Amino acid sequence: MCQAQGKQWGQVRKNGPWSGKDGTYGSFRPIDKANPDLLVSTRMREPRAHRLLHGISLEQIVTSLVEHLGWDELGKRIKLHCFITNPSIKSSLKFLRKTPWARTKVEELYIATQKEHLREN
């Protein structure tokens, strides 16, 4: 086991700067075991693209995509049964809320269309 200033890696320092039981200090953790004084933030920064989704409901996303692309084009870009066969906002929302991978695809398409719209303006 790697030694970090006289303590074994992963042990909690009662009087030292490491406060978490997993060896973290606040929202920081050591980059590697060999050099525990180099810290990196454990909080993930929110990617800029996902800021476009802040405060927007899934219903608003689907409605916007349908208005912008239409059901046919939406079904071609994202091959989902709820967009191809007898599509409706209600059935699409029900499916997307139950399947995270499909919701991610819809959100990514929405982000791409919003970026495209921002570039045009």
Residue 1's Cβ-count burial label (10 Å; 0-12, 13-18, 19+) is exposed
pTM, two decimals, is: 0.59
What does the mean pLDDT of the chain come to? 75
Assign 25 to helix, strand or coil. strand
Sorted by where each starts, the structural domains of the chain and their CATH numbers stand as 1-44 (no CATH), 48-120 (1.10.720.30)
Q: What's the CA gap between 121 and 99, in Å, rounded?
A: 33
pLDDT in tens, 58-116: 999 999 999 999 999 999 999 999 999 999 999 999 999 999 999 999 999 999 998 88
